[in-house]
């Protein structure tokens, strides 16, 4: 992800895989200047997740996105993304949460 005014500066990135019935998020990272108290941009990770949800809808998978969460971030993902648990660290985003994320980050 880049911004139009500085396309040479990466703000964050996401790696996704098409699993045939859902999108799997392999990796999601904000650039070092976009996390912590002194971040430049708020919502980089949320924007990247919204992109994965958008791809899921475009592929006909109903917005379903699955990912492995770091234990310390599980509650954060529940609150900020509307993600739900599948197993101990595997989470998913359902259609309703996906639509909310897409609306928040793409329909401005």
Return the pLDDT at 83. Answer: 97
Cβ–Cβ under 8 Å, residues 91 and 69: yes
Q: Which residues contact 33 (CB under 8 A, 6 or more apart)?
A: 39, 40
Gap between the Cα atoms of 61 and 54, Å rounded? 10
pTM listed for this prediction: 0.92
Residues 31-56: tens digit of each pLDDT: 999 988 889 998 999 999 999 999 99
Instruction: Give how far Cα 70 sits from Cα of 25, 42, 77, 88, 108, Å.
Output: 13, 20, 10, 10, 30
DSSP letter at 20 equals S
Q: Which pair of tokens denotes residue 23?
A: 């999108």
Gap between the Cα atoms of 53 and 58, Å rounded? 9
**What number of other Cβ atoms are within 10 A of residue 93's Cβ?**
28
Full pLDDT tens readout for the chain, 108 residues: 999 899 999 999 999 999 999 999 999 999 999 988 889 998 999 999 999 999 999 999 999 999 999 889 999 999 999 999 999 999 999 999 999 999 999 875
């Amino acid at each position: 992800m880049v911004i139009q005014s500085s396309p040479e500066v990466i703000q964050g990135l996401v790696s996704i895989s098409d699993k045939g019935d859902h999108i799997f998020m392999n990796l999601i990272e904000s650039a070092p200047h976009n996390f912590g108290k002194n971040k430049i941009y708020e919502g980089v990770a949320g924007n990247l997740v919204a992109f994965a949800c958008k791809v899921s809808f475009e592929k006909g998978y109903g917005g379903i996105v699955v990912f492995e969460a770091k234990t310390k971030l599980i509650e954060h993902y529940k609150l900020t993304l509307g993600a739900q648990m599948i197993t101990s660290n595997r989470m998913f985003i359902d259609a309703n949460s996906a639509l909310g994320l897409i609306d928040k980050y793409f329909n401005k």
